[in-house]
Amino acid sequence: MNNHLNYNPDVLSCLANLSNDEVFTPPQLANQMLDMLPQELFQSPDTKFLDPCTKSGVFLREIAKRLIEGLADTIPDLQKRIDHIMHHQLYGIAITRLTSMMSRRSLYCSKNASGKYSISQFDDEGGNIRFDEIQHTWQNGKCRYCGASQEVYDRGDELESHAYEFIHIENPNTLYNNMTFDVIIGNPPYQLNIGVEKENYAIPLYHKFIQQAKKLKPRYITMIIPSRWFTGGRGLEEFRSEMLGDDRIKYIKDFIDSKEVFPGVDVSGGVNFFLWSSNYKGPCKYVNVINGRETTSIRVLNEYKVFPRYNQSLSLIKKIQKKEKHNLSPWISSQTPFGFITTYRGDKISFKGAIKLYSSGGITYVKKEDVSRHQDWIGKYKVVFSKATCEHAGTPDKTGRYRVFSTMWILNPNEVCTQSYLVGGVFESKTEAENYISYLKTSFVRALMLPTLSSQDISADKFQFVPLQDFSKPWMDEELYKKYGLTDEEIQFIESMIRPME
């Protein structure tokens, strides 16, 4: 079936560039995902497929092409074969009214499945691609199913509600009268903006489609989703634990840069597609893709609390953990280390007894009593860095390397910062603080952080693989390579991924 990968660009390839939260799938990618499935599925007239979040209809269309070819001997008459496939094997739930018409146009060659131009006649215009305009179910100001803000999404019928049918129902079996699906496949909406006024942030949605799909007890699930669930993401802790502990996940292909599969679309932290098989039980074949280069390993997904996505980093992590018991995570502050939110600003002019406050907007001045957290740190030297990565967990530089840290410096006594920064360490002497900075700036440290970064925020858990050192002395990469006995191959990986810091 390799001829499917040489698909000529078409309108669905163009649609793949239209959105960031609801990304359209290019046909080439859809076929890579279909290639993971046992190909005999496309030779059986009984196999049933469901796309619970269809947008362009690309998955259903590409499945139809394979079934038309695979069932040629079983159902020789072409029209009878098409009718059987369309009526009894392919099903979809559209995410909007517009995408329902697009999907029908892709699959039936007509937005009206009962119209004269449809390649297979149905009694109603929807065919097997359904769309029902449903509403959120509000409970204490939020939707009980997806978490949408009532203040933002309780609006008129003229605006899209983003209440996706598949995840806004307790029991998805009722959608198709307990029909059993062999394959559930799709590219679900990734997130939903629930911000109001200045609190502009989004919550993930894609994991809800996977959890709902499992309720239907299919033989296979394959979806393409953001890779943020590997290590981070608001509200994804339970889902991450569930996925990493699920030994039915047979295959994962992870793209560090989302633009390798979605041209022109930057999904922070990259994307991955996976194959979940109900009859499989064992380790996962994991393929990591960096700038078109693939590395493959057989992984036990829950070996660590998070999933280190770089295969080459595993040997580093294992060597260090055999030798060291303590890591840097306990040294890293939580957000708002001194109680000042990102937008807080003090007085522009200094005054007697003033404490200097650093923020993304510059330097202002506050009173000591304004510091609501960690007052005992005020009189010490603090190493601080921006809470956002230099690359925002996105595209590396032209050489394919990452810097990781954006800004880093030492706060002197009587200096504090806002939520824009994290405190990485607190010291009695400036020399120790300088030595600590020398360690954080090594490629060694930043390479050990890199496997945990799948979102733009740096937090304490991103240092879980970084070993604690003696900071009475400065540190350099060569010294650390020697201390942990790194091989030439491991050193080459570090230096190929990490950009030196001055």
**Quick one: average pLDDT of 36-64?**
97
* Sign for the pseudo-dihedral over CA of 70, 76, 82, 87: negative
Helix (H) or strand (E) run with residue 319 in it = helix 314-323
Domain stop point among 280, 309, 338 = 309
For 270-285, the pLDDT digits (tens) are: 899 999 999 999 999 9
For 159-207, the pLDDT digits (tens) are: 677 889 999 999 999 999 889 999 999 999 998 877 654 445 788 999 9
pLDDT, position 148: 87
Per mean pLDDT, which range of 48-52, 247-251, 457-461 is the poorest?
457-461
Transcribe 150-190 into DSSP letters.
Answer: HHHH---TTS-----GGGSSS-GGGGGTTPPPSEEEE----
Which residues does 114 contact at the CB level (< 8 Å), separation at least 6?
121, 122, 123, 124, 125, 127
**Domain presence at residue 73:** yes
Strand, helix or coil at 74? Answer: coil
**Domain presence at residue 206:** yes
The answer to whether residues 186 and 74 belong to one domain is yes
Q: What pairs with residue 457 in β-bridges?
A: 388
The answer to whether residues 114 and 253 belong to one domain is yes
For 254-263, the pLDDT digits (tens) are: 998 898 999 8
Strand, helix or coil at 386? Answer: strand
Q: State how beta strands 191-193 and 202-204 pair.
A: antiparallel
pLDDT higher than threshold 70 for residue 395 = no
**Quick one: average pLDDT of 321-336?**
93
Residues of the chain above pLDDT 90, percent? 73
d(Cα 250, Cα 483) in Å, to the nearest integer? 37
**Domain presence at residue 35:** yes
In terms of residue numbers, what domain contains 361?
317-497
**Domain presence at residue 204:** yes
The answer to whether residues 251 and 326 belong to one domain is no
pLDDT, position 244: 95
The answer to whether residues 360 and 465 belong to one domain is yes
**Quick one: average pLDDT of 9-16?**
46
Provide the terminal-to-terminal Cα distance of the chain, rounded to the nearest Å: 50
**Quick one: average pLDDT of 54-62?**
95
Q: What is the residue-averaged pLDDT of the chain? A: 90
pTM above 0.95, yes or no: no
**Domain presence at residue 58:** yes
Q: What pairs with residue 382 in β-bridges?
A: 411, 426
The answer to whether residues 16 and 148 belong to one domain is yes
CB 151 within 8 A of CB 18: no
pLDDT, position 359: 95
Comparing C-alpha atoms, which of 267, 220, 287 is closest to residue 34? 220
**Domain presence at residue 428:** yes
Specify the number of domains making up the chain. Answer: 2
The answer to whether residues 331 and 301 belong to one domain is no
One-letter identity of residue 115: G
The answer to whether residues 248 and 173 belong to one domain is yes
What are residue 373's phi and psi, to 5 degrees?
A: -135, 145
Domain stop point among 309, 326, 349 = 309
pLDDT, position 394: 59
**Quick one: average pLDDT of 308-326?**
92
**Domain presence at residue 502:** no
pLDDT higher than threshold 70 for residue 157 = no
Comparing C-alpha atoms, which of 355, 423, 420, 417 is closest to residue 383? 423
pLDDT higher than threshold 90 for residue 388 = no
In this structure, the number of other CB atoms found within 10 A of the CB of residue 182 comes to 18
pLDDT, position 16: 43
